[in-house]
Amino acid sequence: MSIRQLPRDVAAKIAAGEVVERPASVVKELIENALDADAHAIRLEIAGGGLDLIRVSDDGNGIAAEDMPLAFARHATSKIDSLSDLEHINTLGFRGEALASIAAVARVTLLSRPRADTAGAQVSVDEGVLGQVTPAGAPAGTTITIRGLFASVPARFLFLETGATETAHCLRLLEQYALAWPVVRFTAISEGRQVFNTPGDGKLLSAIVAVYGLRVAEQMVALDEESDAEQPQEHTSSERPQVSGYVSRPSCYKATRQFISFFVNGRWVQSRTLNYAVEEAYHSLLLTGRHPIAVINIALDPAEMDVNVHPAKTEVRFLRERLVYAAVQRAVRAAVLATAEAPELSGRAFSAPAWPSSDSPFASLDGALPGLPSAALAAASATPGSLWPGAGVEAGQSVARGAAGGFAVPGVAAEGAVGGKKLPALRVLGQVSQSYIITEGPDGVYMVDQHAAHERILLEKMVAEWRARGIASQRLLEPQTVELAATEREAVEDHLEQLRGIGFEIEPFGGDAMLVRAVPATLSAQAHPQSLRELLLELVGADSEAASHGETWEEHALANVACKAAIKAGQPLSPEEQREMIRQLEQVDAHQSCCHGRPTMVHLSLAALEREFDRR
């Protein structure tokens, strides 16, 4: 075939494919247009997964009759004029492609009346062919109706899912914009039924109630806006992002990352990096495989970013990505640490668990004190969570020692560790069941799980060592021989370098045995052949597990070492040992939970005691 210019309609359909991939992309463009038109109320109607009908109505500025044909022309927009405008985009749209693209693959009717006009007008476009603009009665604002979406596009170009799934995508999109724009009243109607609405009262929490429900909303905490003084000073205020929003308490979580949303200047954006910043802030407070719920608004000078990365505008590029990353992580970490106080026992006869919430597995343990992990649960969640309690790891520092690239905080320099609230000074009263240390603090009784607490202390110590210069290694007076099966030996041999990185010195010892000459110093007291064997197998078998949780091998490994080295439940401790443990716990940042995300302590406040004894 010789080279030919494609016919216009073919070219238009190909171009449209970039913008309009599925029904939800249409919904997105229409909602963005309504928001750009200063709408206060936006209503979405959808049928047949969006293929039969998508209608978006708004009460915004409207489109004058004479502008209507132009609205459907490619690269026609009222939002920017010149190239330089591209650097200061304050609107969601700017490419002037959406209506043209949608009209290339569907039948579109536009009905609109600018607020100031007395009469409205209407025009239809059928597969790119523009009809006559005719007068029509209309409320102030714009209604765009899309029918027969993709009807003329060869089926093999479409990768659509079932109608129900496409509908779900469309509704999710609307929900995201409802979270981003609490001042706007959103309504969704699916197959003739109203399925969603927000009050439009300007409160983000109201939108969260509408989208995620009251139970989740009750578990959300607001991010404090940072004062200028708290921000890194090497940047001017226009360069600095302002982060606001809500994040879930560690006791409230989901099984996927889908509930983490970012809005940059009101635009919903996807960003793996920012996801990482949020999850990093929960490190050690959420069990692996659990993800927080977050609604995070980032306000940033438009000159500090590029939104013109992709035709669908779902990605943005930040000029100073590290700054945005660090601001998000700081804000989330501060909020999470401030709320994850020791779980409070409340209510009569310890009946109402105040923390963790009923979403958490702890709550279902009938009869157990709320918040205290049962042994069964502790055993069930032997997978270590992820760790780092502080802010970012200083890039390049000490990481070189480790294998596998060290701790994966991509390119972020520590901006000063986020200070968690330290524990108040506690007076040790004694040990219960050889497992819990009971203490008195400024407001009542604090009960500490000795294993969880010790695990947390050891982990923080090792993390600090790792950051500073690498894990301290301790040569064993008597090297220990560990007997392994052939495949186990191979696995250990494959990891010798990584194991060395965290303080082990191991060498072959004939047959399938290995000789352990040195261990992480923390572990030296526990270096018996049997426990070393168990630990080594855990460490070398954890590659895929760590990877699937987005952890490095070292993160995973240190948590395992801490767990092994920590004193166990059931071990009697002298009063001196108990005091020492509490003293060390007071120094720890994320003292509320062990590295598996289980609580380290439960608090029984004086008020709760008074209630129990009917004193108030």
Q: Single out the residue of 41, 47, 69, 79 in contact with ligand ADP (rule: CB under 6 A).
A: 79
Tell which positions 6-65 bind ligand ADP, by CB under 6 A. Answer: 29, 33-34, 37, 58, 60-63
Q: Classify the phi-psi angles of 453: left when phi > 0, otherwise alpha if psi is within -120 to 50, otherwise beta.
A: alpha
For residue 321, what are the CA distances in angstroms to 32, 241, 329? 25, 10, 12
**Residue 98 sits in the site that holds Mg ion (CB under 5 A):** yes
Could you write out the three-class secondary structure of 111-127? EEECCCCCCEEEEEEEC
| Closer residue to ligand ADP (CB): 55 or 461 | 55
Site track for ligand ADP across 134-153, x = CB under 6 A:
--------x-----------
- How far apart (Å, rounded) are the C-alpha atoms in residues 191 and 521? 64
Whether the CB-CB separation of 539 and 499 falls below 8 Å is answered with yes
Min dist CB 359 to Mg ion, Å, is 38
| Closer residue to Mg ion (CB): 98 or 307 | 98
- Buried b or exposed e, range 528-560, using 16+ CB within 10 angstroms: eeeebbebbbbbbebbebbeebbbbbbbbbbbb
Q: Give the interface segment with ligand ADP, choosing from 69-77, 469-477, 481-489, 601-609 (CB under 6 A).
A: 69-77
- Buried b or exposed e, range 317-351, using 16+ CB within 10 angstroms: ebebbbbbbbbbbbbbbbbbbebbebbbbbeeebe
> Could you write out the DSSP letters of every residue in 539-571?
HHT-HHHHHHTT--HHHHHHHHHHHHHSPPTT-
Q: Name the binder of 522 from ligand ADP, Mg ion, none, CB < 5-8 A by kind.
A: none
Q: Classify the phi-psi angles of 425: left when phi > 0, otherwise alpha if psi is within -120 to 50, otherwise beta.
A: beta
**Residue 61 sits in the site that holds Mg ion (CB under 5 A):** no
- How far apart (Å, rounded) are the C-alpha atoms in residues 237 and 580? 45
Dihedral angle computed from the Cα positions of residues 547, 552, 554 and 559, in that order, rounded to the nearest 10 degrees: -70
Min dist CB 107 to ligand ADP, Å, is 16
Q: Give the interface segment with ligand ADP, choosing from 92-100, 151-159, 249-257, 413-421 (CB under 6 A).
A: 92-100
Min dist CB 199 to ligand ADP, Å, is 22
Q: Single out the residue of 71, 335, 391, 399 in contact with ligand ADP (rule: CB under 6 A).
A: 71
| Closer residue to ligand ADP (CB): 85 or 443 | 85
Min dist CB 198 to ligand ADP, Å, is 18
Count of residues interacting with Mg ion (CB under 5 A): 3
Q: Name the binder of 357 from Mg ion, ligand ADP, none, CB < 5-8 A by kind.
A: none
Tell which positions 24-53 bind Mg ion, by CB under 5 A. Answer: 33
**Residue 95 sits in the site that holds ligand ADP (CB under 6 A):** yes
| Closer residue to ligand ADP (CB): 76 or 368 | 76
| Closer residue to ligand ADP (CB): 38 or 580 | 38
**Residue 99 sits in the site that holds ligand ADP (CB under 6 A):** yes
Q: Single out the residue of 49, 93, 114, 392 in contact with Mg ion (rule: CB under 5 A).
A: 93
- How far apart (Å, rounded) are the C-alpha atoms in residues 134 and 123? 6
Min dist CB 143 to ligand ADP, Å, is 8
- How far apart (Å, rounded) are the C-alpha atoms in residues 365 and 375? 11
- How far apart (Å, rounded) are the C-alpha atoms in residues 514 and 343? 44
Determine the distance from the C-alpha atom of residue 197 to the mean position of all C-alpha atoms in its chain, rounded to a whole number: 24
Listed in sequence order, the residues at least 6 apart from 2 whose beta carbon sits closer than 8 Å to its beta carbon are none
Min dist CB 141 to ligand ADP, Å, is 7
Min dist CB 93 to Mg ion, Å, is 3
Min dist CB 33 to Mg ion, Å, is 4
| Closer residue to ligand ADP (CB): 12 or 335 | 12
Partnered with residue 430 across adjacent β-strands are: 438
Count of residues interacting with ligand ADP (CB under 6 A): 23
Min dist CB 388 to Mg ion, Å, is 41
Q: Name the binder of 65 from ligand ADP, Mg ion, none, CB < 5-8 A by kind.
A: none
| Closer residue to ligand ADP (CB): 98 or 523 | 98
- How far apart (Å, rounded) are the C-alpha atoms in residues 112 and 120? 5
Determine the distance from the C-alpha atom of residue 369 to the mean position of all C-alpha atoms in its chain, rounded to a whole number: 30
- How far apart (Å, rounded) are the C-alpha atoms in residues 380 and 172? 34
Question: Which residues form the interface with Mg ion (CB under 5 A)?
Answer: 33, 93, 98
Question: Which residues form the interface with ligand ADP (CB under 6 A)?
Answer: 29, 33-34, 37, 58, 60-63, 71, 76-79, 93-100, 142
